[in-house]
Structure 1
Amino acid sequence: MSSRRTFAGVGSQKTPNTPEMPIGDIMGKTARVLVMERGWVMTSGRAKGADTFFEQGLIVPGRDAVMEGLFKGYLPKRPFNGHTDGIFIQNEDTLARARQILIDNKVYNFKPNSKIPRFIALEGKDRKKLSEQEIMLADFHTRNVFQILEETLDKPVKMVVCWTPDGATTIEEYQMGVTGGTGIAIALASALGIQVFNLNRQDHLDRICGFIGMEPPKLILPETALLQPQLF
């Protein structure tokens, strides 16, 4: 299993899937080609939108991607989005290591002298001081670390395929509240030198569609200023 290549199939809950912009279908076929045909392993988060579109590509009669060790769905809590099955990390030492990875890699690109967010700095130390929103953010953001490094935190994926409203692909482009929670995975992957393909970039969309044999749609990118905030 250790020799198998792995990718993270993640993205926004607002990922489009229409006849004019079939990003969801592209995600599903990408998962099917890489995982079910070529034997890659896919990590994801079992959320609505992009995660679900990727998972739909793994539905093949007579086969079970989980049983074959080809799919790892990480949950921020259990149940989540109607799922009780999935990898739910509860070991406090492992969670603390995951939080420290976010801090060490400067995933939160705040202004100089700004502090690490309370929901990461305090989570696990004095959780009762956190609001429900902060606890939720800590759980979701920590879950994204496992999507990139798996549950042992030492198996980085080979690439990330995603869709976000702003087309971000690097830690510098990640904007908290705009890129959405997927931005945590993007920023960490970028910091670790992992290739990120964002399907809201025409060059990346063309490349992925060429690989899976689909005609790429032409993107019409929205102005970043008009994007609605997404925290997770």
Structure 2
Amino acid sequence: MKLFDKLPAATGNSKTYAGIGHRDLGGFREPNTNEPVENVMAWIAGELEKFGYTLNSGGAKGADAAFEYGVKSPAHKNIFTPADATETTRSIAQELHPAHERLQGHALDLYARNTNQVFGRNLDCTIDFVVCYTKDGCETAATRSRDSGGTGQAIEMADCKGAKVFNMKNRDWFERLKKYLVNEAGIAAADALDFPKTFAKVPRNLVDFTPQKPAANAKPAPKMSNKQIRSLMKAMKR
């Protein structure tokens, strides 16, 4: 049995959620408000905190930083980084990654961190839902693609364990989240939740992402053959 199969299913009672997404938000805008998506992330994180939810996120620039910025109390956020990776979370990351044999070093630890975002520090409590942004609008394991990025793995884990996913790329994400909070979480006040007229701005230094340049003496990554690329694409569609 795979390690992932042993992880608990979502109960809807954890009062935790994952606020995640791309590191490079690239000027993306929330479709209902046309607001920079990072400002809406910070706002919804603040509203969920008022409803008693704790944020699980990954401490990276971009989406992670925006969600974290919106949470007022340190007690209401769990931030996991690559330094939290363990042999167990690394193994789970490799189980789910379509090119697991190429996943090593820091990249592996980044994916291992996703496991904590969904299952907590001790891997014993599954989040209730995910709020995220990916370019492809992915919300299920079946719709994960290359454009889902690393966030796609967390989405796949959440979906496979029964946690809801609300992707801010999709226009209906907000109404569906409200209905979830009212009908499944029993938070009546969420029915009146609505976008503010103006959003607080997330500081640019938190969300501006510049990819690191490889060291001058770094060896280039080996190129994949056409056969390897076709195999990778097939694996991602499974």
Q: Distance in 2 between matches of 1:194 and 1:100?
A: 22
Structure 1 residue aligned with 2:114, among 144, 154, 162? 144
Q: Alignment RMSD, CA only? A: 2.6
Q: Distance in 2 between matches of 1:180 and 1:117?
A: 17
Look up the match of 1:174: 144
Q: In the alignment, is residue 155 of structure 1 matched against residue 125 of structure 2?
A: yes
1:22–1:116 Cα change, 3 Å? closer
Structure 2 residue aligned with 1:214, among 168, 177, 195? 195
Look up the match of 2:155: 186
Look up the match of 2:78: 72
Choose between structure 1 and 2: higher helix proportion: 2
Normalised by the length of structure 2, the TM-score is 0.63
Q: Per-residue deviation at 1:202?
A: 1.3
Q: Per-residue deviation at 1:116?
A: 3.7
Residues 32-43 of structure 1 correspond to what in structure 2 (within 5 A)? 32-35=46-49, 37-43=50-56
Identity over aligned pairs, percent: 29
Residues 5-154 of structure 1 correspond to what in structure 2 (within 5 A)? 5-15=15-25, 16=28, 20-35=34-49, 37-59=50-72, 65-66=73-74, 69-76=75-82, 88-89=83-84, 95-102=86-93, 107-108=96-97, 110=98, 116-119=100-103, 134-154=104-124
Look up the match of 1:127: none
Q: Distance in 2 between matches of 1:168 and 1:144?
A: 16
Moved more, 40-49 or 205-214: 205-214
SS in 2 for 1:190: helix
Give 1:26's aligned amino acid: V
1:48–1:116 Cα change, 3 Å? closer
Q: Per-residue deviation at 1:149?
A: 0.5
In the alignment of these two chains, the number of paired residues is 170
SS in 1 for 2:47: helix
SS in 1 for 2:84: coil
Q: Is the 8 A contact 1:102 1:188 kept in 2?
A: no
Q: Per-residue deviation at 1:143?
A: 0.5
1:75–1:103 Cα change, 3 Å? closer
Q: Per-residue deviation at 1:206?
A: 4.0
Q: Per-residue deviation at 1:186?
A: 0.6
Q: Is the 8 A contact 2:14 2:126 kept in 1?
A: no
Q: Is the 8 A contact 1:4 1:39 kept in 2?
A: no
Deviations along 1:171-222, one digit per CA (max 9) or x if unpaired, are 111124x211111111111111111110001111444489541179xxxxxx
Normalised by the length of structure 1, the TM-score is 0.65
Deviations along 1:27-55, one digit per CA (max 9) or x if unpaired, are 111111111x1221111011111111111
Q: Distance in 2 between matches of 1:52 and 1:17?
A: 16
Q: Per-residue deviation at 1:152?
A: 0.2
Q: Distance in 2 between matches of 1:143 and 1:4?
A: 19
Q: Distance in 2 between matches of 1:4 and 1:167?
A: 25
Q: Is the 8 A contact 2:17 2:131 kept in 1?
A: yes
Q: Is the 8 A contact 1:30 1:208 kept in 2?
A: no
Structure 2 portions without partners, runs of 5+: 1-12, 180-189, 198-210, 212-238
Q: Per-residue deviation at 1:4?
A: 5.1
